[in-house]
Structure 1
């Protein structure tokens, strides 16, 4: 995940962390954000997007929060969601920013806060945590095969990995979080010492 978010290249990157509640998606996003935010002109961490987006002014309030953190200004005049989208696009395109949107569960939330690639200038990073699985089943089958391979087919290793499964999504490609690679190999070595690692 570090390699996906670090600003070594000037492309715009949306990185998703998907998985069930309680497995550490938010914690991972916070740790990564804290480690790399000094590489950007500005950063914003918007927590509880799902909860905060409900109600009449929910998305507008989140748009104001995002821009307030980026611009370091408290008083922003955003009348409606579309006005906020235009303001975000116009402001963020000219800045190098890191944005974390935590607990996104609806496409409208993502559209209102991060739109699409053309909102952002070169080198920007947008990290989204969600419990939804936005990927097609075909890619999921390949990922499942990769997980079984790491677990060497051992039921115990699969059971342990399942509890810690964290999937990193970039565009249309998906991979396991790097921490799982080592964990899977360690379990396999412990359970099957005669197997080569």
Structure 2
């Protein structure tokens, strides 16, 4: 009998390349470590007071509210645009292009883009960012592990070996063999 998945929250902003590293590693280990990975788009500007990703993070928040299964792909595509291809992610047309490349229909993406200024989306992003701050965040990424009634906050994408230890799992590097074989 397989144990129930353990819950990890990953607070991230696509303007943080370190968030991207943590995001990719945790996505690769979801099944290997039997974790329920909860992606939590957060606004690094509210934590570090300097960012240019407000529209992108509100868009990801809207994706999470209405199409949570698309959140991983859209987040990855925004990171690819800004950090791999040096493309814009602040203009609406750039956000739409990223969403469409991630597999979202133009209509879905446009509908979500129209909602980024709504109180619902703004409040959700603010609440998620506040939750990260309550855990003690001082930057991103922050991974919060909920284990045996205790909460453990880890800052940075270079803490995966410590996370593996907390989970009682084996750390096999950023690209575990099972994933490496598929690449």
Please give the TM-score of this superposition, normalised by the length of structure 2.
0.31
Name which one, 1 or 2, has greater alpha-carbon Rg.
1
